[in-house]
């Protein structure tokens, strides 16, 4: 199994990788299919209008997660890693006013968001909770082309056919990847590390370098960390009320100002480590909730954990190097790839254990790696962090990634560092293997009631409003 570090860490926009980035990507995929795809085209008939249907979790929490906006922007020809956040509102208003799509390089299509963007809450699509259907129609409203896509977490989008292939291959022996270290699970990863004498980061690097040069890999990792660092900095400097209607104020800047004041005045703070980890994570997720530029890590809803832990390490470890940044990201991506391959990173599929829990495991592994941990200690760190997120529901109040999501990232970062510390105090031997913990997360997600999987139909999403 091979999943690139750049598949897990993708630059995009908030507030959600599965509900914003995924739908935008799917809409753009359909736009390209309409123009360039090999599908039966009736003679003397042209596509006149496009229509989009959001199902399941995308319908229930779509507005709060800006799914509606993302679909329109995707049909305007935008993709998450290239769109200019400052230009989005103008494009949206133009479509709403003109009731048409005018994507560069494409014909003009009729599209009235009030009619042609449907939030279908009653009829779920069978493949996944985050299902979408797009249609191309002629002037007589005859459907010429229909495609179904699923946003499966972390910005990943698959067609209905691809999803069926993924499901049919579950549990079957995976075909060997054309990489030197194709570990499918943590047990295989540890065996390969023991046999090769390489670290997890070194094995991951050699796998990546079958796809790109060492220079390209390092440049890509630097770009990812640069985007993460910039997001933290923006979050530490911005203030005000986050959008969406809950009137939740940003807190990161105020907390950061207090921490900087304590730092300058050399005041003792026994909570210092937790405070710095929390403020970095909150800064990222306040930016995400505001629709700013973020990096999936492995999702937008959990985007603050990994950068917070890495920033904390760089802040307080005076001997930190550029290599440490690369090793942290490579190691954490190795763990994230195993989790995604064997369970899920989608809140709509397994709850928040799959988002913040996965992010915390990834960050714990990265932290243990740069602290000199052995592969066994790194695997132990990831397991500790994930184990203590098992069963965590996804119940965003108002369908927004604000409450409880922002604070959950802060606690996920704290747990990650604690897990790394505990693992480093041992020799790597432990009772629960990471693979068993991942399988437990998968089973727990399957058993979890749909109300607690990013639908905002249960948990805090209901009780906070009722109170």
Is the link from the previous residue into 298 a cis peptide, with omega within 30 of 0?
yes
Say whether pLDDT at 147 is over 50: yes
168 pLDDT above the threshold of 90: no
Q: What is the pLDDT of residue 321?
A: 96
Question: What residues pair up with 159 in beta bridges, in sequence order?
Answer: 149
Q: Is the pLDDT of residue 177 over 80?
A: no
In contact, 296 and 362? CB cutoff 8 Å? no
> Nearest 5°: CA angle at 308, between 230 and 70?
60
List Cα–Cα distances, 31 to 10, 58, 375, in angstroms. Answer: 21, 19, 45
Count the neighbouring beta carbons within 10 Å of the beta carbon of residue 356. Answer: 31
Report the pLDDT averaged over residues 81-103.
95
Q: Residue 281 to residues 92, 317, 356: CA-CA distances in angstroms? A: 30, 18, 11
Q: What is the mean pLDDT of residues 442-447?
A: 98
Residue 174 has pLDDT above 70, yes or no: no
* 241-288 pLDDT per residue, tens: 999 999 999 999 999 999 999 988 888 888 889 999 999 999 999 999
Residue 181 has pLDDT above 80, yes or no: yes
Residue 55: beta bridge partners?
120
Residue 312 has pLDDT above 80, yes or no: yes
- 3-state SS track over the chain: CCCCHHHHCCEEECCCHHHHHHHHHHHHHHHHHHHHCCCCCCCCCCCCEEEEEEECHHHHCCCCCCHHHHHHHHHCCCCCCCCCHHHHHHHHHHHHHHCEECCCCCCCEECCHHHHEEEECCCCCCCCCCEEEEEEECCCCCEEEEEEEEEEECCEEEEHHHHHHHHHHCCCCCCCCCCCCCCCCHHHHHHHHHHHCCCHHHHHHHHHCCCCCHHHHHHHHHHHHHHHHHHHHHHHHCCCECCCCCCCECCHHHHHHHHHHHHHCCCCCCCHHHHHHHHHHHHHHHHHHCCCEEECCCCCCCCCHHHHHHHHHHHHCCCCCHHHHHHHHHHHHHHHHHHHHHCCCCHHHHCHHHCHHHHHHHHHHHHHHHCCCCHHHHHHHHHHHHHCCCCCCECCHHHCCCCCHHHHHHHHHHHHHHHHHHHHCCCCCCCCCHHHHHHHHHHHHHHCCHHHECCCCCCHHHHHHHC
The whole-number average pLDDT for the span 61-79 is 95
3.50.50.100, 3.40.50.2000, 3.30.300.10, 3.30.1330.90: CATH of 16-168: 3.30.1330.90
Q: What is the mean pLDDT of residues 130-156?
A: 96
Question: Cα dihedral sign for 292, 296, 297, 300?
Answer: positive
Q: How confident is the model at residue 107 (pLDDT cuts 50, 70, 90)?
A: very high
d(CA 49, CA 249): 40
Please give the Cα distance from 32 to 28 (Å, whole number).
6
Task: Find all residues with CB under 8 Å of 271, minimum gap 6, and list them.
Answer: none
Domains in the chain: boundaries: 16-168, 186-466
pLDDT value of position 467: 46
pLDDT of residue 140: 95
198-203 contact pairs (CB < 8 A, 24+): 199/327, 199/331, 199/369, 199/375, 200/330, 200/331, 200/334, 200/365, 200/369, 200/375, 200/378, 201/326, 201/327, 201/330, 201/331, 201/334, 201/369, 203/334
Query: For residue range 1-28, what is the model confidence (pLDDT) as tens digits?
Result: 899 999 999 999 999 999 999 999 999 9
């Amino acid at each position: 199994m091979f999943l690139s570090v750049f598949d897990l860490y993708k630059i995009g926009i908030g507030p959600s990788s599965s509900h914003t980035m995924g739908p935008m990507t799917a809409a753009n995929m359909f736009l390209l299919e309409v123009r360039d795809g090999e599908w039966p085209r009736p003679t003397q008939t042209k596509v006149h209008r496009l229509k989009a249907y959001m199902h399941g979790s995308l319908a229930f929490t779509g507005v709060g997660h800006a799914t509606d906006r993302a679909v329109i922007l995707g049909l305007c020809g935008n993709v998450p890693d290239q769109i200019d956040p400052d230009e989005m509102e103008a494009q949206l208003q133009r479509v709403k006013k003109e009731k048409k799509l005018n994507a560069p390089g494409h014909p003009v299509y009729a599209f009235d968001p009030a009619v042609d963007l449907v939030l279908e809450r009653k009829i779920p699509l069978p493949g996944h909770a985050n299902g979408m259907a797009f249609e191309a129609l002629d002037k007589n409203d005859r459907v010429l082309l229909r495609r179904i896509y699923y946003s499966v977490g972390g910005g990943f989008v698959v067609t209905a056919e691809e999803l069926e292939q993924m499901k049919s291959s579950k549990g079957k022996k995976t075909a060997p990847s054309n990489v030197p270290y194709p570990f499918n699970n943590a047990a295989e990863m540890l065996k390969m590390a023991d046999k090769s004498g390489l670290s997890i980061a070194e094995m991951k690097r050699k796998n990546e370098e079958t796809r790109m040069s060492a220079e390209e890999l390092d440049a890509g990792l630097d770009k990812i960390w640069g985007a993460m660092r910039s997001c933290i900095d923006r979050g530490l400097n911005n203030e005000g009320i986050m959008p969406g209607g809950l009137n939740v104020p940003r807190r990161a800047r105020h907390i950061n100002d207090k921490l900087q004041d304590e730092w300058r005045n050399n005041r003792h703070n026994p909570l210092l480590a937790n405070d710095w980890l929390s403020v970095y994570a909150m800064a990222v997720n306040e930016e995400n909730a505001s629709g700013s530029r973020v990096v999936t890590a492995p999702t937008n809803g959990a985007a603050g954990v990994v950068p917070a832990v890495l920033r904390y390490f760089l802040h307080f470890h005076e001997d930190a190097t550029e290599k440490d940044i690369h090793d942290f990201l490579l190691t954490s991506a190795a763990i994230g790839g195993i989790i995604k391959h064997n369970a899920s990173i989608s809140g709509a599929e397994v709850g928040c254990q799959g988002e913040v829990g996965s992010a915390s495991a990834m960050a714990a592994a990265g932290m243990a790696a740069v602290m000199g941990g052995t592969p066994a200690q790194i695997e132990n760190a990831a397991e500790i962090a994930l184990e203590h997120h098992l069963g965590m529901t996804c119940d965003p109040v108002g369908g927004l990634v604000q409450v409880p999501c922002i604070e959950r990232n802060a606690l996920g970062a704290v747990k990650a560092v604690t897990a790394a510390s505990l693992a480093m105090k041992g020799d790597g031997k432990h009772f629960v293997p990471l693979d068993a913990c991942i399988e437990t997360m998968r089973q727990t997600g399957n058993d979890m009631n749909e109300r607690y999987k990013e639908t905002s139909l249960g948990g805090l999403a209901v009780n906070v409003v009722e109170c």
